[in-house]
Structure 1
Amino acid sequence: MNSMYFSEEHNLFRKSLQDFLQKEVVPHIEKWEQTGIIDRFIWKKFGDMGFFGINYPEAYGGMNLDLFYTVILLEELQKINSGGFAAAIWAHVYLAMTHLNAEGDEAIKQKYLAPSIAGDKIGCLCITEPFGGSDVAGMRTTAVKQGDHYVINGSKTFITNGVLSDYLIVAAKTTPELGNKGISIFVLDRDMAGVSATKLDKLGWRASDTGEIAFDNVKVPIQNLMGEADKGFSYIMQHFSLERLIMGINAHARAEFALEYALKYMSEREAFGRTIDKFQALRHSIADLYSDLEVNKIFNYTIAARLNNGEYVVKEATMSKLKSTKMADEVIYQCLQFLGGYGYMEEYPMARLLRDSRLGPIGGGTSEILREILAKIIIDKKEYKPAT
């Protein structure tokens, strides 16, 4: 393991996490993949182990550790071959909880963040809309202030944990005439009147529940507004760096898992009197794939180090997601080919890996959107700045 970024304490944490995942999670993966429902008990076990509180303040039950513990959590989650389970976990910890910690006041943190760290509450982040996709500024969900509460109307889609979560972090327009400068962030309880969810059927990530959520005249107390009114867009943009880096790290980790599995298979599979890892065409392909993986992985580590130091890395995190997710798709596609007919069989890991990986260039901002963001930064000299 790269000692530039990982200490002995990091390595011990990785081993402990690996043991936990093998004992507590892996035996249930096939059931969760088939049912699309992750049993509630595992959330509490994650909370009891402290895995939800890695980066969060000790005052709410967290451990306030550096970002490379998060890197380890993300990498190891990818290596149990359930992109859906991994997504459910990191969507809770690094999408919903990130907003609670950054924009929630003390009352919100006590009510939602502390039990989220403990594994007693599950959250989801609701930004994407049926008509908007990556166009955050074009969202149609509204929150109209009426006395001591807001009334929210609209819908969200493709929301991980959107059906089974206990609370929802929701972006809505409080001042629609201001466009992206009129968005606010709220926390809603699942049982609020007017909140409903429909589960979506997906190509991959089958263990996670992905929902379309409707808000029909939902009355939300004014105290559930997070941060300042009309500052929501800047909050969302600020946290996109972490989300995109997470998806980049996820990508390099699943590519690494695929390559390690393929190499083991190739070292055992014989054809024409020798193992197939001795054929030059396959050996050279492996060399190219490993090179692409390592370039992306080390780049992701450098961004994680900068983000850990408080730098604003919107450009680099965007590059991470763009390039790493493309690399992972290419690596996994080729690794399935290495396994031949067995790669196409569900009892081997590559079929699921291929399905799960395909969401990488779509979720959290499509590759097309990311290229335009980078073009604006590189060509138009657009500057993205932290929320103030």
Structure 2
Amino acid sequence: MDPPFTPEHQLFRRTLRDYVERELAPHALEWDEAGIFPREIFRGMAEIGALGINYPESVGGAGGDYWFVVVLAEELTRCQNSGVNMGLLVQSQIATPIIDQIGTAEQKKEFLVPALAGEKIAALGISEPDAGSDVASLRTTARRSGDEYVINGAKMWITNGTRADFITLAVRTGGPGHGGISLVTFPTDVKGFSVSKKLAKVGNLSSDTALLFFEDCRIPVRYLLGEENEGFYHVMTNFQGERLVAAIGAVAGMQLLVEDALRYGNERTAFGKPLARFQVWRHRLVEHLTAIEAARWLTYRACDLFNRKETAVKEISMAKLLAGDLMQKVVYDCQQLHGGMGYVVETPVARAFRDARLLTIGGGTSEIMKEIIAKLVPGF
């Protein structure tokens, strides 16, 4: 079947592509070198309706289905800066969906509406120095004190962390294990909150990633998201959207990398003919295009299930596993075809080479994806 992209989806694609290629892509290298992208980009994306594209109109969204998110994740790859992609997708598809799903009217007004308008920057606070994929082992506590929670602990690897106005925060309100975890909305102007440091990463340089500390931070109990001690389920649900946009972006990014390699291979000559005319590269790139097409349709299958609100954990895990691992091979070969030009950061493939490594680590490692799939397939 063909993916269900309607004329409305394609109009959004054209609008977004124009914005990305005009306002974002020309600054890709500049923002990597700066280690941050301008805060105004959040507002710019909101103005074209991109941040709230799949949210209800009641919170400032456009009311679109999940296929609009597919368009969003695909077209953002054209900015040639994975850090920008990550910051914007955390804002719109990772830190905020759970507020729309289970937040109170007050939480939506205070946090979600301004986030979708690009007025407040959002972050998701789950991972800790000693608890990444093992969410059930998180240690940051929220102790009830009257009408307040008193929060103590640390969070690590937090995208948008150095400048977030609020954090969708996972905390321990009960006993050990998954049964004692809750989610809260946490404004970062609270006394006792601090950004310990901005982490120096291998790639995704324009995305600020932080280590955060919480020392006797007090927030009202009304900032609890959903029911107390039921946050683990919501974290696991939220992971599905995060992993799916990662797979969508990886597939779209691989397609652009191969297309760019083909363009370069037809322009660059060696031994009297273009590189793309050598059988070794013709066959290698064709193999990649075939694998990318397979990854695309697996990912679209997961998107279809997710859009229809059907169980898609297995398919999403498979899509992230396949796309993330495949990207490592595709970007390596595309960089190799570029030769020396693929080793200088002014070339997009060089930056993609360092950025792509995160795909098999962030949002759940490839190993975690395999464990999830094994639990869902009979016979293991």
Query: Do they superpose with TM above 0.5?
Result: yes
Aligned length: 379
How much does 1:57 deviate? 0.7
Instruction: Find the counterpart in structure 2 of residue 140 from structure 1.
Output: 139
- What is the identity, as a one-letter code, of the residue corresponding to 2:373? L
Question: How far apart are the structure 2 equivalents of 1:98 and 1:4?
Answer: 23
Which runs of at least 4 in structure 1 moved beyond 4 Å after TM superposition? none
Contact kept? 1:44, 1:120, Cα under 8 Å: yes
Equivalent position of 2:79 in the other structure: 80
| Cα separation, 2, equivalents of 1:57 and 1:269 | 49
How far, CA to CA, are the matches of 1:52 and 1:325 in structure 2? Answer: 24
Structure 2 match to 1:376? 375
Question: Does the 8 Å CA contact 1:5/1:301 hold for their aligned counterparts?
Answer: no
1:182 to 180, 198, 207: 180
- State the match for 1:384 in structure 2: none
Deviation at residue 26 of structure 1 after TM alignment:
2.2
What is the identity, as a one-letter code, of the residue corresponding to 1:189?
Answer: P
User: What does residue 257 of structure 1 align with?
Assistant: 256
Counterpart secondary structure, 1:85: helix
Give the partner amino acid of 1:345: V
Which AA in structure 2 matches 1:199? Answer: K
Q: How does 1:4-19 map to 2 (within 5 A)?
A: 4-19=3-18
The residue aligned with 2:161 is 162
Q: Which residue identity lines up with residue 326 of structure 2 in the other structure? A: M
Aligned-partner residue type, residue 80 of structure 2:
N
Conserved 8 A contact 1:240-1:314: no
3-state secondary structure, aligned to 2:246:
helix
Alpha-carbon distance in structure 1 between the residues aligned to 2:378 and 2:249: 29
What is the CA–CA distance in structure 2 between the aligned matches of 1:214 and 1:158, rounded to whole Å?
12
Superposition map of 1:60-209 within 5 A: 60-177=59-176, 179-197=177-195, 198-209=197-208
* Contact 1:188-1:224 within 8 A present in 2 as well: yes
CA offsets, 1:238-258, max 9 Å, x none? 121111111111111111111
SS class of match (1:156): strand
- Paired letter, 1:186: V
In 2, Cα distance between the equivalents of 1:196 and 1:205? 23
Identity of paired residues, percent? 39
Report what 1:352 is aligned to.
351
Task: Say what the alpha-carbon RMSD is for the aligned residues.
Answer: 1.3
Matched ranges for 1:313-324 at <5 A: 313-324=312-323
Distance 2:14 2:104 in 1: 36
CA distance in 2 between partners of 1:25 and 1:141 (Å): 36
How far apart, CA to CA, are the structure 2 residues paired with 1:130 and 1:273?
54
Give SS of 1:50's match. Answer: coil
Deviation readout 1:128-178 (Å, 9 max, x if unpaired): 11011100001111111010101111111001001111101110110024x
Residue identity opposite 2:136 in structure 1 = A
Name the stretch that deviates more: 117-126 or 26-35: 26-35
Q: Deviations over 1:343-379 (max 9, x none)?
A: 1111211110011110000000111111112122225
> Does the 8 Å CA contact 1:142/1:153 hold for their aligned counterparts?
yes
TM-score (normalised: structure 1): 0.95
TM-score (norm 2): 0.97
Following the alignment from structure 1 to structure 2, what is the Cα–Cα distance between the partners of residues 42 and 333? 30
- For structure 1, the 5+ residue unaligned runs are 382-388
